[in-house]
Amino acid sequence: MLATLPNEDHLIRSLQTDQVTGFSTLYDAYAPTLYGFLVGVVRDSELAEDLLQDAFVKIWSKRHTYNPKQGRLFTWLMVVTRNLARDELRARKVRLSASSYLAVHSEWLSNPTPCDGRLTTTLISQLAPKYRVIIDLYFERNYTFPEIAAHLTLPLGTVKTRYRKALQELKEFFSQDIYYYQLHLHN
């Protein structure tokens, strides 16, 4: 099959001078081989078709970065395609882990304590009272920072600092939960 390919130098020149006909020729010449590679990697013909399309979009958008002195055009095309396939496999692994996590925590996620999907009372209750009141006023009652400062008779800077600290603590709670999940997922 490689023997019937058009002249690689001609393809490179046509790509680097933005000739769409050259890109079409490139696609016709290399798409079947790249598609076969993708099917072998992702084991899904529809996904391979999508990835092939993504690969050629990336090839077209990055065509000026190809340097013939660093390797053959086919090798560059394979690297672009392989990287997209690897990204897809990594994303699939993340989606699988996320779906496992969601399945384990589905009760909590589908029935949060507040009715409209606001932050859960149980999570907020883990905060110190001085932080909890800021989060409650800001998220639950829709107060602005100046309104919170006036309501609590605190300086505006103190309100903002406590807000940031509360968010940092909530982030830490989530991080611990994720760490716990990852630890038990891989054991």
Residue 2 pLDDT: 47
Q: Is the distance from CB of 107 to CB of 96 less than 8 angstroms?
A: no
CATH architecture of the region 108-185: Orthogonal Bundle (1.10)
Instruction: Please state the domain extents for the chain.
Output: 2-104, 108-185
Q: Which amino acid is at 55?
A: A
Lowest mean per-residue pLDDT among 23-37, 89-103, 121-135, 145-159: 89-103
Find out whether 72 and 8 touch, Cβ atoms under 8 Å: yes
Model-wide pTM > 0.85: no
Integer angstrom CA distances of residue 11 from 20, 22, 30: 11, 6, 11
Average pLDDT of the chain to the nearest whole number: 79
The pLDDT assigned to 114 comes to 43
Give pLDDT, residue 52.
94
> What fold is seen in the domain 2-104?
Rna Polymerase Sigma Factor; Chain: A (1.10.1740)
**% residues pLDDT > 70 (the chain):** 76
Q: Which residues contact 53 (CB under 8 A, 6 or more apart)?
A: none
